[in-house]
Amino acid sequence: MKILLYALLCIVALFAVLLLIAVIRTLLIKNKKCDKKSAIEFTPEEERLYAEKLSEMVKVPTVSAQPGETDLKRFEDFQAVLRKNFPKIFETAEVKDIDSNLLLKIKGKDSSKNGILFMGHQDVVPAPDDGTWKYPPFSGEIAEGRVNGRGAMDCKSTLCAEWQALEELLGEGFVPERDLYLACSVNEENSGDGATRTAEWLKENGIRLAFVMDEGGAVVNGFMPGMSTWVAAAGVVEKGTAHIKFTAKGKGGHSSTPVKGTPIARLSAFVSEIEKKNPFRKEFIPIVTLMFSRLAPYLSFPFRLLLGNLWLFKPLVGFAVPLVSPMANAFLRTTIVFTMSGGSQAPNVIPGEAYVVANIRPSVQQNLEECIEILRKIADKYDLETELVLGHSASRITDPDSDEMKYIEKCVNECYPEYCFTPYYMAGGTDCRKYESVSDNCIRFCPMKIYPDQMAAMHASNESINTDALAEGVKVYKHIMKNYK
């Protein structure tokens, strides 16, 4: 008994020493604050011009249809707006049109160097005018300091800022040091092949890219609990995505004579088990550890203590942070959510077959095949069929210490002094991963400020972007394009 008590006291003393070390280390971490505004300058006339151009782009309803059903007429109308608003680009560039997926090349001084590519997508998700929009979704209304409408943020603002930056540079007589490309697909939102075909064309023509820059991370506020500063989060990896259908079959019949174990009952039990305990393991991959260490100096004390000392608090952080932040939970594991279901067509009929569909986001540490097998074993307990509808594993990780990433960080720091810059682990998907065959540096970052309510409006009603944020984005892209050697 005395030995056990002595051992317990030793453990408590050791933990007290480790805790003291962690507190001292935390106090030595300089608490960084971002009190400066951006160093970016633009005139009211420029801000108004950029907003008007984006407004025109939003007014064209380039809604993604089902795969294989894309109405190219909408995109022809959209590209007419591009030609009107960015004439110098079209006068200068070599234009490759792959079924309305555009690839434009501005020839550089030295084409033997790997080029750089800035991209986005022309299409948007549906936006029914269901009464929840303050301004009609395709009005492009400029009001309250914002451009409002579907695509204003995702991601016509990205295209507008990239293209306007290049348009201005060309007007100033700019010739890039190396070939500079613009690319935009018509079917990113429905996981179409536009970007894939564009990347394949580049590969077939022997073109390598120093870096590819797409939508993804942004300059955001409220990035983590306990953090009030702006964070420039540049995505260096994105999780996979998959739609998985689970089907239960049984004997249907009249609801007046029910039996146990109906298809819906078995599906419900399956969903309940998954909801109660996520079956996918949590793990701190190196990029997440690096991201947390970058964020730590900007956090209030309790969070700075935890994230600045993962060597001690990793188990606690892994348990506690996901409880208060769904985003943090997505950083640490594969996520799953059930999004669709179907069964009987009448309330008094027991279905002979019913189904649910789950969307999963495979993490770097668990590929799609492993995730499916984990779910299949649980589904088998309830006599369910498991079918992969579509999906892919996580992307490759862009080295956060590469010269190209350091260059982007340098440019951002010059434009946004004192903002926190960090590599970012993206839960969502982009076209960027499709360019991995032609570039080692696929960077998912749009250098524009996005507010929390705008993040919440992504793929929802009242999507918008601030006009001053758009103007800043133009100038940051211009800085990146102009100074890359």
Which pLDDT band, with edges at 50, 70 and 90, does 224 fall under?
confident
Q: How many CA atoms lie within 13 A of 18 on its CB side?
A: 12
HEC letters along 73-90: HHHHHHHHHHHHHCHHHH
Pairing status of strand 180-185 against strand 115-121: parallel
What pLDDT is recorded for position 285? 92
Is the per-residue pLDDT at 413 higher than 80? yes
| Residue 6 banded pLDDT, cuts 50, 70, 90 | low
pLDDT for residue 33: 65
Rg of the chain over Cα atoms, rounded to whole angstroms, equals 25
The H or E element spanning position 40 is none
Segment 367-403, tens digit of pLDDT: 999 999 999 999 999 999 999 999 999 999 999 999 9
Tens of pLDDT, residue by residue over 176-199, are 999 999 999 999 998 899 999 999
pLDDT grade, residue 7 (50/70/90)?
low
Residues near 241 by beta carbon (within 8 Å), at least 6 away in sequence: 191, 359, 360, 361, 362, 391, 392, 429
State mean pLDDT over 410-437.
Answer: 94
Which domains can be identified in the chain, with CATH numbers? 44-237+396-483 (3.40.630.10), 241-392 (3.30.70.360)
pLDDT at residue 270 in the model: 98
Decide if pLDDT at 410 tops 60. yes
The pLDDT value given to residue 4: 64
| Residue 18 in this model has a pLDDT that exceeds 60 | no
Q: Are strands 420-426 and 230-238 parallel, antiparallel or unpaired?
A: parallel
pLDDT of res. 108: 98
Question: What backbone torsions phi and psi does residue 119 show, to the nearest 5 degrees?
Answer: -140, 170
Instruction: Please state the rounded mean pLDDT for residues 323-342.
Output: 89
- pLDDT confidence of residue 313: 83
